Amino acid sequence: MTHESTAVGLASAYSNATTASGDWWRDAVIYQVYVRSFADSDGDGIGDLRGVRSRLPHLARLGVDAVWLTPFYVSPQADGGYDVADYRAVDPLFGDLADADELVRAAHELGLRVIVDVVPNHTSEQHPWFRAALAGEPGARERYLFRRGRGADGSLPPNDWESIFGGPAWTRVADGEWYLHLFAPEQPDLDWTHPEVTAEFDSVLRFWLDLGVDGFRIDVAHGMVKADGLPDIGRGAQATLIGTEPLPFFDQDGVHEIHRAWRRLLDSYEGARIGVAEAWAPSSERLALYVRPDELHQAFNFRFLNCPWDPGAMRTVIDESLSATTAVGAPTTWVLSNHDVVRHVTRYGGGAQGLARARAAAMLMLSLPGSAYLYQGEELGLPEVADLPPESRQDPAFRRGRRQQIPVPAVDPAPGPGPAAPGIIAPRPGEPTPPQSAPSPHSQPESGAGPQPHACCGPQTRAGAGPGPDPLTAPQAHAPTRPQAETGTGAQPQACCGPEAVTGAGPEAEMGGGAGGDPPTAPEADGQDGLRDGCRVPIPWAGAEPPYGFGPVGSWLPQPPEWAGLSVAAQTGDPHSTLELYRAALELRRAMPGLGAPEAGPSPDPRGMRWLPSPDGVLLFTRPGFACTLNTRPEPVELPAPGRPVLSSAPVQTDGRTVRLPPDSCTWWAF
């Protein structure tokens, strides 16, 4: 018979053994909110903190444990808010400090924890410290990495380091000195050997901890310390080396003392406040150093995000990741998508195939030991939007300019918002390597953009209905959409290399802006693949046409007309929908004692899981009282039933003794 698995009624059959622990983060499911694209409360077409607060009931009902908010601080928005001008204030684009306080309180009332971004490697060029440095204030330049140039007249950069966005990592100011910016010129790197830098960030962390946040996602956690003497690397294409071999500007041993100090600070607060590293390291063992018992709590597992739709590659990544983190007593942190990569529905092929694989991959991720991160809209099965009109693009990579020399003193331009850019593309096995665009700093690696996405189609599905729809709060009408600043320099983005799950080999490229840029050339104006706007399109909440309840009028990026069927309201209560699949999976993850934390349940394996023999193309592993099967093949596969099916990403045929696994599907079993 065909079994349409459901989680309804299963929760009472199990006791949750993993969430009672004070170490909530060890098996937490954390939902990333890209604030600009989540919900708009004031009618300017841009998401804001009040909008996020109005939609928190959706996240509580989804079943996540915490919310991670992307930067909402005062910023010129040259890099989507990752260029911070004031770390203790909310940009008026997103609200004010009272809105942040109310959001944190509302989340806590719903049982949700709140994690916010902190950006310690660099500031905005409009930060008071950097403005003082350019104005010649005594001692101000010592907080940054200013150096004299090489050559008789100092006209050459101090070393051969390259920006992640392409070109030199140095910009010369009018008096002849150069400053280091590993990312955009608008993001000057701080000198973490200066005691004022250390003291300032301790103060910033305490400010937000005192407000009540539960932790920090640490941007470029591997980058704050540079090798003594800033030595040359001696080769180009340095961005392609990130995460593959040692570099003098990333993953230096000195960063660990910073993280130890921050861990002591976090531990001084009640309530298990956490630090999450966005870190790139040459090996799983080096990455595990960031989550030693006296350092940070989690580190993103980008290797899992990069993994192709291949069972052998998946098993290797899972084993090596678990082995490295288990050796230091930490959980592994899994992720499939974020605001800097092509959505995994499209990475996995797009259309019906991409959706089927994305649903299966999500179930696989949620069944693994450790913590998992979800990116907003993935619970709706949203694809990448690859056909945005050129005039709507906001990613700085789309309109690249040439950086002008910075005068001294600096002029105080009015801030103008506008987000960030793309990444490098890995070929499929056997294919030639395409030209590489530069990878970037913020969050995860960029993927190839994949083929043109399609609407969610077909009943590829799980089962498990839930109660009626969430209350969909109607935002208030206000002013028209605020225009965005669009500047930047960087490498030409590349197209995706085909229908398989192909992702980048390094962090995504974020092209910074510069004054006086040239207009886009034809390839830039026509190109869509590789840019990050497509994963940042505001998500649909309800209604038959845009903006689908995102706000009262419009959205900063246009939403596709076919998204009406993908909205929260449209999918709620539909047992075949991706939203109900996620809700059921998260309900079971809480309910079944064999899921979640690595130490959950008795097992000879400290990771709580064991691989079993399986047919080619199939992964089969068990955890206490639980089994997971993943069929990566394009056709059904028969095997002995490992237990009683409780949830599946597609209808499963079983007679109780054998099972016919659907193609590109994942099934959970109880025994």
Q: Residue 365: phi, psi to the nearest 5?
A: -60, -45
Q: At what angle do helices 195-211 and 97-109 cross, to 10 degrees?
A: 50
The residue type of 500 is E
Q: Distance between the two ends of the chain, CA-based, in angstroms?
A: 19
C-alpha to C-alpha distance for 650 and 4, rounded to whole angstroms: 8
Name the one residue in this structure whose structure tokens are 């009272």.
98
Exposure pattern of 411-433 as b/e (b: 16+ CB <10 Å)?
Answer: eeeebbbbbbbbbbbbeeeeeee
Pairing status of strand 86-90 against strand 73-74 = antiparallel
Write out the H or E segment, with its range, that includes residue 504: strand 503-507
Catalytic residue (choose from 162, 219, 470, 508): 219
Dihedral sign computed on CA atoms, order 356, 358, 359, 360: positive
Catalytic residue (choose from 65, 117, 186, 278): 278
C-alpha to C-alpha distance for 164 and 346, rounded to whole angstroms: 25
Which distant-in-sequence residues (6+ apart) come within 8 Å of 235 by Cβ? none
C-alpha to C-alpha distance for 328 and 183, rounded to whole angstroms: 31
C-alpha to C-alpha distance for 529 and 241, rounded to whole angstroms: 22
The region, left, alpha or beta by phi > 0 then psi within -120 to 50, assigned to residue 429 is beta
DSSP secondary-structure letter at 405?
P
C-alpha to C-alpha distance for 329 and 231, rounded to whole angstroms: 35
Pairing status of strand 371-375 against strand 445-447 = unpaired
Pairing status of strand 665-670 against strand 371-375 = unpaired
The yes-or-no answer on residue 278 being catalytic is yes
The yes-or-no answer on residue 245 being catalytic is no
- Report CA-CA distances (Å) from 284 to 302, 321, 443, 588: 10, 6, 17, 30
- Report the catalytic residues: 219, 278
